[in-house]
Structure 1
Amino acid sequence: MQIREGRPDDVPRALEIWRTAVDATHGFLTPQDRAEIDVMVAEDFLPNVELWLAVDAGDRPLGFLVMDGAMIDALFVDPAHHGRGIGTLLLDHALALAPGAIVDVSEQASNALPFYEARGFVRTGRSETDPQGRPYPLVHLRHSGTSAASKSSGQ
């Protein structure tokens, strides 16, 4: 597994990853909101951002990361490959780019908070709505500078 910069021809696979990951982890979205967000991600977001991809030995993307300065704007892994360290690999890349990285996670996505908190992120606040004003609370996190590995080794 390695991280590489994305290319325009990677956008369809990134969108596929996003869709399957959201469908697996964001069951709280209303069908209308899910459809509206899909259009926004497909037409406005993914084609216009710098993608970082976690790819397998055959160069097939299995997850992706989008950074906006110190903000982790998106980190999604194909659900068929959850639990294999791909998210951690992408997060380590994000922290190499922005050691004090921040991220907003959906409070209702049960996998997000434990993932980030186990890797040294601490809560800094909460919003009642998402950036579009939808009723999906967000938890704001910042990396503490302490990794889970250094915590477990006592460093």
Structure 2
Amino acid sequence: MSNIIHPVDRDDATLSLLLTIWEGSVKSTHTFLSDQDIADIKPEVYQALEMIEVLCCYEDDQGILQGLMGIDNHKIELMFISENARGQGIGKLLVNHAITQWQVKSVDVNAQNEQGLIFYQHMGFQIINRSEFDAQGRPFPILHLGLK
């Protein structure tokens, strides 16, 4: 049965699998990032997966993890769906879970990630602010979204 898993084991094997999902997702949706940018960000993502307050995953009918979401302080800090599972409603399930179970009220999205922005707007979020740099000071503009 397909479901959302929480808590998620944060052993090395699971974190490596989640990092693989992240990397595949980023390569298909964050086309503004170079291969070097992705390599530079990857250790930060691994650390975030280890430390984030709430880590939820989506598991398909075969028991394979296909999506992940990290929540901290009522904010979606990261959400990525496996390349081969995009467009199947997994993101919608995860976001709805975040809103209903974790009282999520905000999310940030890269300004250059048009697919992500459209998705979050469809889910009821609206742009409330913009930063010209990401949280690490890199020149990737961020849109700060709040739930309507």
| Pair in the same fold by TM > 0.5 | yes
Residue number in structure 1 paired with 2:48: 45
Is 2:4–2:59's contact at 8 Å kept on the other side of the alignment?
yes
Which residues in structure 2 correspond to 1:6-155 (within 5 Å)? 6-9=8-11, 10-42=14-46, 44-49=47-52, 50-144=54-148
**8 Å CA contact retained: 1:122, 1:141:** yes
Work out whether residues 99 and 143 of structure 1, in 8 Å CA contact, stay in contact via their aligned partners in 2: no
Give ranges in structure 1 of 5+ residues lacking alignment.
Answer: 145-155
TM-score normalised to the size of structure 1?
A: 0.86
Which structure would you say has the larger Rg?
Answer: 1
Q: Is the 8 A contact 2:75 2:104 kept in 1?
A: no
- Taking only aligned residues, the RMSD between alpha carbons, in angstroms, comes to 1.3
Determine the C-alpha separation between the residues in 1 that align with 2:86 and 2:35.
24
In structure 1, what is the Cα distance between the partners aligned to 2:72 and 2:80? 15
CA distance in 2, matches of 1:39, 1:59: 26
State the Cα distance separating 1:100 from its structure 2 match.
Answer: 4.8
Deviations 1:36-85 (A, max 9, x none): 1012212x221223320110122211001100011100111001111100
Amino acid at match of 1:127: S
Report SS of the residue matched to 2:114.
coil
Question: How many residues were matched structurally?
Answer: 143
**Identity rate, percent:** 35
SS state at 1:58 partner: coil
Whole-Å Cα distance in 2 between the matches of residues 55 and 75 of structure 1? Answer: 14
Q: Deviations over 1:9-30 (max 9, x none)?
A: 4212111110100111112113
Q: Specify the alignment match of 1:148 in structure 2.
A: none
- Give the whole-Å Cα distance in 2 for the aligned partners of 1:97 and 1:59: 22
Q: TM-score, normalised by structure 2?
A: 0.90
